[in-house]
Amino acid sequence: MQSVDYTTLIAICASLDDRYIPSRLEQVYQIDRYTISLCLRTIEQKNWLTISWHPQGARICLGNPPPRGKDTFTFSEQLRHLINGYALIGVKMVSDWERVVDFQFAKRPHEEPLHHLYVEIMGKYSNVILTTADNQIITVARQVTANKSSVRTVETSQVYQLPPSLTGNSPKLNENIKVWQEKVNLIPGRIDKQLIKAYQGVSPVVARQLLQQGNISPTISNQELTSSDWQKLYDSWQFWLNAIETNNFNPHLTDKGYSVLSKKESNQNVHKIINNYYNKQLYKEDFTQLKHQFSQKIKNILKKLEIKRKKYQDRLTESDNCEIYSQKADLLMAYMHQWKAGMAEIELDDFNTGMPVKIKLAPDKNMIQNAQKLYKLHQKLKRAKSIVDPLLEEVQTEINYLQQIATNISQLDYQEQEDLTTLHEIKAELINQKYIEDSQYRGINNQEESQPRRYQSPSGYEVLVGRNNRQNDILTFRTATNYDLWFHAQEISGSHVLLRLNAGDVPEDKDLEFTANLTAYYSQGRGSEQVPVIYTKPESVYKPKGAKPGMVVYFKEKVIWGKPSTVNS
């Protein structure tokens, strides 16, 4: 993930200084343990400023409004208590080439600042610190004690000190090409690496942009550059420093991320680019972690349920053979005269087949007592069948349900925020069903709901595919009308699928095949060549009392074969 560099911070601060100084801080909301949102209002506009100290995605930018859930974080509560309602009177870089921004707050515009909110954008060491006017720390997003760092501590009641100075030379606009070239060329190596090592403020993105503008390969050695290459690179260097000096930036997306440096004019908004880039990257990271976490959790639960099912099935098999014990007991009672004291086994002829049957005996019991023991075992196994049958059915239902969720999760790949929302809905379902615990979970009542996948059949009919159990239930019991057709993979887990029809419409075979192919693709049988798919009217689908989300029963169904491989997702 690309880091916010010094050049980008200058561009962001220049934009904020131009549009939001002065402004009033109306609200503080902490979104998660790494991110706060500040609501800034000017005479002309109102917006939310995102400040994040995330280890990989630390940033400052105008972003999305926060969710409406309750904020229970201590850090934001202290900020609300101390600076809510104050005027933001300055956004300044604390020092040249340092990625530390000073947000200055006063009671009113044009007064001296009473508080400083220092935002340090330094990768995994990023932090946000609120101080008094004389730089005494009041509260900090991330306490850094002596146990965590021997270089610099950041704790309440201390005097705020800047991070340790960076190594390397400070870039200067008036530095001539000869001196500049000597510094960059001092140690042989790749030119992009040497630019970063020789000077402060040169990030990998800046180095790549400067070399790209000069049409120079980043992997070439500084010793291999020609006089012409050095001149072109120096011109790009001067362009970069001029941009910082004059706040003349052209933010734009690149093939690897974003940049604020370009010789081409750009009308793109730096805040929008930063906000969209990091949201997408962090959503994707969150998605990957959640998907792996839920997949492993369900896999482990299913493994335990499979063992339980096997145990119940073995007991039922034993119960099915319970008549054998009754027959053996009958034989013992019929041939009592053949018993001798101390016998451990006896061989008797079967009543029906005449074949010899070996029966184990308890040596300390007589024939009648051994027969009674077998009669009791027969009765016990006979009763066990009526007890185990519902238990096995319950376990099988739970296995079917979890396989349904496992299928939904496995078929999710991060393409857009919708996919993360779908995964959060699955998380809510797993919490509600008591499969996972999360004391920090705050529900999804206030967040946007995910939408089903949408396709169009060859004849132009809309086809809706559920992404998770919540959507499956909505499609089947809220969205569907009696004109539609409901599809599902036969006897395996998969999405509920609707072929939307109008009154009197009769879908052609190609529409049924298209929908069946989609149904097969979004099912547990995705890897098969053909999958049996059932379809019926939505009125023939119902949810049994107490059934889990997404679990239904259907009747009056027809079967059609779906081919998953024909679907181009």
CATH of 6-140, one of 2.60.120.510, 3.40.920.10, 2.30.310.10, 2.120.10.30: 2.30.310.10
Q: Which long-range contacts (CB under 8 A, 24 or more apart) does 116-124 make?
A: 116/160, 117/79, 117/83, 118/94, 118/160, 119/51, 119/53, 119/60, 120/53, 120/163, 121/3, 121/4, 121/9, 121/58, 121/59, 121/60, 122/58, 122/163, 123/3, 123/55, 123/56, 123/58, 124/55, 124/56
Across the chain, what does the average pLDDT equal?
91
- 328 or 54: whose pLDDT is higher? 54
User: Which pLDDT score is estimated for 387?
Assistant: 86
What Å distances lie between residue 102 and 76, 94, 98, 122, 260, CA to CA?
18, 6, 11, 14, 21
Q: What DSSP line would sit under 146-205, residue for residue?
A: TTT-SS--B-TTSBP-PPPPPPSBPP-TT--HHHHHHHHTSS-SBHHHHHHHHBTT--HH
Q: pTM of the full predicted structure?
A: 0.76
Task: Assign 256 a pLDDT band (cuts: 50, 70, 90).
Answer: confident
Task: Assign 446 a pLDDT band (cuts: 50, 70, 90).
Answer: very low
- 323 or 104: whose pLDDT is higher? 104
Q: Is the pLDDT of residue 416 over 80?
A: no
Mean pLDDT of 14-35: 94
pLDDT digits (tens, 9 = 90+) for 461-474: 999 999 999 999 99
Location of structure tokens 């057709």 = 485
User: Which pLDDT score is estimated for 441?
Assistant: 55
State the helix-helix crossing angle for 323-334 and 367-410, rounded to 10 degrees: 170
pLDDT digits (tens, 9 = 90+) for 521-556: 999 999 999 999 999 999 999 999 989 999 999 999
Q: Which residues contact 210 (CB under 8 A, 6 or more apart)?
A: 195, 233, 236, 237, 240, 261
pLDDT digits (tens, 9 = 90+) for 189-227: 999 999 999 999 999 999 999 999 989 999 999 999 999
Task: Assign 413 a pLDDT band (cuts: 50, 70, 90).
Answer: confident
The token pair at 191 is 């030119």
The single-letter DSSP state of residue 460 is: S
> Rounded distance, CA 160 to CA 144, Å?
12
User: Which pLDDT score is estimated for 436?
Assistant: 87
Residue 475 identity? L
> Rounded distance, CA 438 to CA 225, Å?
57
User: Which pLDDT score is estimated for 336?
Assistant: 87
Mean pLDDT of 65-88: 92
What count of other Cβ atoms lies within 10 Å of the Cβ of residue 98? 19
Please tell me the CATH code under which domain 177-268 is placed: 1.10.8.50
Task: Assign 439 a pLDDT band (cuts: 50, 70, 90).
Answer: low
pLDDT digits (tens, 9 = 90+) for 228-240: 999 999 999 999 9
User: Which pLDDT score is estimated for 381?
Assistant: 75
Q: What is the CA radius of gyration of the chain?
A: 36
The token pair at 352 is 């029906």
User: Which pLDDT score is estimated for 293?
Assistant: 93
> Rounded distance, CA 13 to CA 99, Å?
11
Q: Is the pLDDT of residue 69 over 90?
A: no
User: Which pLDDT score is estimated for 447?
Assistant: 55
Burial class of residue 342 in the structure, from the number of CB atoms within 10 Å of its CB (0-12 exposed, 13-18 middle, 19+ buried): exposed
Q: Which residues contact 150 (CB under 8 A, 6 or more apart)?
A: none
User: Which pLDDT score is estimated for 340?
Assistant: 86
Task: Assign 352 a pLDDT band (cuts: 50, 70, 90).
Answer: confident
Q: What dihedral do alpha carbons 365, 367, 372, 378 form, nearest 10°? A: 110
The token pair at 80 is 């609300």
> Rounded distance, CA 233 to CA 229, Å?
6
User: Which pLDDT score is estimated for 440?
Assistant: 53
The token pair at 462 is 């809309």
